[in-house]
Structure 1
Amino acid sequence: MSQTPSERYAALVARGEIAFDAAQEALAERLSRLAIELENRRLAHKTSHLGWLFARRHHATPVRGLYIYGEVGRGKTMLVDMFFEAVSVRRKRRAHFADFMADVHERVHRTRQRIAAGALKGDDPIPPVAAEIADETRLLCLDEFHVDDITDAMILGRLFTRLFDRGLVLVTTSNTAPDDLYAGGLNRALFLPFVALLKERTAVVCLDARTDYRLGRLAGGEVYFTPADAAARAAMDRAWAAVTDARPGSPMELEVKGRKVAVPLAVRGAARFSFADLCRQPLGSSDYLKIARTFRTVFIDGVPMMGPADRNAARRFVLLIDALYDQRVKLVMSADAEPDALNTSGDAAVEFRRTASRLYEMRSQDYLAAPHGAQGPESVAPAEVSVL
């Protein structure tokens, strides 16, 4: 094993790269103990001539993972990244929860096609999908665990029952305690057995760090750059690198009511789009709400001044900002003008005043310090509006 999370955390503190926090240190120690336990299990299984006996013992005493929750930016992802890099498990996977579920849905769809074609026996795609994932993955680390989709809610219990039976160890981060997952969701009673299973197979840890260690990366600098020129692009790139710890990121897709919404770049709970990606495509409020619930930080490059010819794009922009604001998403953007000058299309400019006001508020320290998530009942399920 390379440095344990505890050793790595102590080194970062010693170099002054992060400030010491007792809650973070305690979690680093907890993750180090789990890494050592997984390493010992691996070595025992590898060196024993009685592999069948160790396999039986392993099945009887499964390794308990971790469910880590707490407010945004307290260091959950940073510490799990240290753990993932340190642990010597060959079949390990690190993914954002939304990416993982998109992969599960794709596997379910593919398996249903095989069943329909007669290439696979049975009528339930979940057992073969679970077996496939378990064959590939011994340790699964998920970031931003959240459940707001009834399809996901109904799949998770059946899927993870089989994954845990196959020995999978789960380490996940979330902004929500397990008992609050899918709160108010349709048929939530059917979801509760999964919550019980999650609490049985993972130790639940609240990371109550005293400060948002990422907030300073945004609050200490600008989050709105104008005009949208080369200098603004460079500033956006620097802010992106700060928020994502210079991780490269990759494209992904979000599923919304059977459709795919493309995300050009996503990593560590942040997503980056151009104005055209979001507002010149046939997207509606449900698409923007999905984006707002999935990502805690959204970057938008190149917001133009919008005149009469941009009526549809301007309307979509209003819906987008409403969704981001209601979910308290941190917004970093470059634009051709200050918010109150972005819409120049006569009467529509008057209606745009609320959006401009929100854009100014989203630059404030109070807004940046607010936790990610819906702020009231009115923001949970807005009426569907589509602008074609």
Structure 2
Amino acid sequence: MHLRDGLQTHATVRQRYDHLVESGAVVRDTEQLRIAARLDKLIDTISAKRVAQKSSALGWLFGRKREVREVVKGLYIHGGVGRGKTMLMDMFFELVPVRRKRRAHFNDFMADVHDRIQKHRQARKEGTVKEDDPIPPVARALAEEAWVLCFDEFTVTDIADAMVLSRLFSALFADGVVLVATSNVAPVNLYRDGLNRQLFIPFIGILERHTEVLALDSDKDYRLEKLNNLPVYVTPADASADAALDTAWSTMTEDLPEKAVEIRIKGRTVEVPRAVERAARFSFAELCDAPLGARDYLAIAERFDTIFIDHVPVLDQTRRNPTKRFILLIDTLYDTHKRLVISAEDRPERLYAGRPGVTEAFEFDRTASRLIEMQSRDWLDAWAERHEANEGDVIGGSEMTARAIS
């Protein structure tokens, strides 16, 4: 524990980081230490602000009614994948001595914002609220719920998000909200090549004025180093395979809380039972027994970079539709260059045991070949390089949105 100027006794991000180093969980990295120091400084600033507000009875009673609020600059941390940004931000979130705080994946946060905007518009139609503009009341409600916001994977790919961000965050910052965000791109590269980007540009200035922008540069992708030692195709699909995939999932997601997510596409909903940031986990039944099609699989591939599939059975002509869906699913994941982790009843070349000569048998030869290739070191290395190079690119023309299931 650490005593800071008599304000608060709490562990520091640096202390938590040092503990992980000593336990062998992470390797000491000077760039990560630099970010940890900035996060600790921000905790000090926030702690001092809280104490100052409580030091005066009038400030305690009327501080929330002041027109001008003390501005605390947050942090915007950007860098390549696997550099430790999320790990450090999560330490900050746990340690910052604030009750009204919120940590969310940025896409989930914006889905919540759009839901609130829609509810306000409906309430305005019904005459239960008076404000025509939904942004100010939505921002006030969000600021009331949490004045420290932590966003993981701050990225803008949707024009609907891009068009509201400037006004939304101007209102949030005016209400004293402090933002800490991680991203794979610098603010200037957000929504790059996006539709009507000129309307988004003012938000970049707002973000840079209210956060200190820090680059987390490191020569190593620590997450990828761990993943490289994990199996990606496990057979047979028994209890040991379940344990192996659980270990791989835990490593991939860094033990972050998982949630169910709905992907909405053209009026339909695709349910993702387990998701953490850009990783999703399904059973074979959820993907291939369910009536999903090419557009659904493409929507999943657009939303996630890594897909886990548990309990792929040996298939034959008695399961013709699930077989066709599995063939289509693997084609989609292969064509979009995704990382695939699978537990299966048998090896790829033995996963189809139906009659030879039928269409599915010919098509499954391609599926088996692709499953084998997607296990190779060349595939996984290429995935890592492509994944890092494409971070921050806009998904052009997509009508897909995702939201967490509460």
Normalising by structure 1, report the TM-score: 0.87
Change (3 A) 1:42 1:325: farther
Match of 1:369 in 2: 384
Change (3 A) 1:128 1:318: farther
Q: CA deviation at 1:88?
A: 0.5
- Identity across matched positions, percent: 52
Change (3 A) 1:110 1:13: same
- Is the counterpart of residue 297 in structure 1 residue 306 in structure 2? yes
Deviates more, 1:338-347 or 1:298-307: 338-347
- Cα distance between partner residues in 1 of 2:209 and 2:232: 42
Match of 2:122 in 1: 113
| Matched residue SS, 1:254 | strand
AA matched with 1:250: K
Q: CA deviation at 1:368?
A: 5.3
- Unpaired stretches in structure 2, ≥5 consecutive residues: 1-8, 400-406
Deviates more, 1:104-113 or 1:48-57: 48-57
Change (3 A) 1:158 1:344: farther
Deviates more, 1:339-348 or 1:299-308: 339-348
Provide, for residues 228-278 of structure 1, a one-character-per-residue CA deviation record: whole Å limited to 9, x for no partner. Answer: 222211211222223233445232323334443222122354321112222
- Cα distance between partner residues in 2 of 1:18 and 1:186: 40
- Is the counterpart of residue 152 in structure 1 residue 164 in structure 2? no
Match of 2:77 in 1: 68
Contact 1:102 1:253 in 2 (8 A): no
AA matched with 1:37: T
Provide, for residues 108-138 of structure 1, a one-character-per-residue CA deviation record: whole Å limited to 9, x for no partner. Answer: 2222221111101133322221111111010
- Is the counterpart of residue 171 in structure 1 residue 193 in structure 2? no
| Matched residue SS, 2:10 | coil
Q: CA deviation at 1:380?
A: 5.1
Deviates more, 1:16-25 or 1:148-157: 148-157
Among 22, 32, 45, the alignment partner of 1:14 is: 22
AA matched with 1:161: S
Q: CA deviation at 1:5?
A: 0.9
Contact 2:70 2:176 in 1 (8 A): no
- Cα distance between partner residues in 2 of 1:55 and 1:171: 22
Contact 1:285 1:320 in 2 (8 A): yes
Among 235, 239, 244, the alignment partner of 1:230 is: 239
- Cα distance between partner residues in 1 of 2:101 and 2:10: 16
Contact 1:65 1:202 in 2 (8 A): yes
- Cα distance between partner residues in 2 of 1:212 and 1:275: 30
Q: CA deviation at 1:83?
A: 0.5
- Cα distance between partner residues in 1 of 2:77 and 2:398: 33
The higher radius of gyration belongs to 2
- Is the counterpart of residue 41 in structure 1 residue 49 in structure 2? yes
AA matched with 2:376: S
Contact 2:297 2:329 in 1 (8 A): yes
Change (3 A) 1:126 1:219: same
- Cα distance between partner residues in 1 of 2:225 and 2:241: 20
- Is the counterpart of residue 307 in structure 1 residue 316 in structure 2? yes
- Is the counterpart of residue 336 in structure 1 residue 345 in structure 2? yes
- Cα distance between partner residues in 2 of 1:44 and 1:258: 50
Q: CA deviation at 1:212?
A: 1.5
Among 217, 220, 228, the alignment partner of 1:211 is: 220
AA matched with 1:101: M
Q: CA deviation at 1:77?
A: 0.6
- Cα distance between partner residues in 2 of 1:56 and 1:112: 26
- Cα distance between partner residues in 2 of 1:326 and 1:178: 30
Contact 1:114 1:120 in 2 (8 A): yes
Aligned-residue CA RMSD (Å):
3.1
Q: CA deviation at 1:307?
A: 3.4
AA matched with 1:363: Q
Deviates more, 1:313-322 or 1:149-158: 313-322
Match of 2:210 in 1: 201
- Cα distance between partner residues in 1 of 2:158 and 2:262: 15
Q: How many residue pairs were aligned?
A: 383
- Unpaired stretches in structure 1, ≥5 consecutive residues: none
Normalising by structure 2, report the TM-score: 0.83
| Matched residue SS, 1:103 | helix
Match of 1:359 in 2: 371
Q: CA deviation at 1:162?
A: 1.3
